[in-house]
Amino acid sequence: MGYIMNLRKYVGHEPLIGLGATTLVFNEKNEILLNLRTDTNNWGIPGGSMELYETIEETAIRELKEEAGISAEELELVTVLSGKDYYFEYPNGDKLCTVIVLFKVKNYSGTVKVSDKESKELKFFALDKLPNMEKRAQAIIDKILNGSIKI
């Protein structure tokens, strides 16, 4: 059981501050890798919560491997995001004020494949042809498209 899930035993659905890593993976056509989430049934960017004693880079690498089956060989720190755009309420009622450390994956090994119960599907999308996105992922994409996040 992860750190956040452990805390939920004590605080129930009340808002928590959660630190996590999100990874931007692009293919040779400059399309972004997204995962169709099982919890919200919309598309997100691979990432997740930091566990105790883990570095944020280890979080990024672990989450990408768990969610997309690939190993990040080199990460580049893009930015840190927080605030109301990154508040999220899960379908089960859990509330999370997310602090996202955003990384670009410079190169990776392995084959993209669904590797856990958090994703139904993985697919690369052109930035101008994106599907229905999860709120936090959409906020990241909007910042990329308006130039306030440089990738």
Write down all domains in the chain, each with its CATH number in brackets: 3-145 (3.90.79.10)
Report helix, strand or coil for 71: strand
Q: Is the pLDDT of residue 118 over 90?
A: no
Of 126, 139, 110, 136, residue with least CA distance to 37: 136
Please, are residues 73 and 106 in contact by the beta-carbon 8 Å criterion? yes
The token pair that represents 5 in the structure block: 């899930």
Q: Is the pLDDT of residue 1 over 70?
A: no
pLDDT band at 85 (very low <50, low <70, confident <90, very high): very high
pTM: 0.94
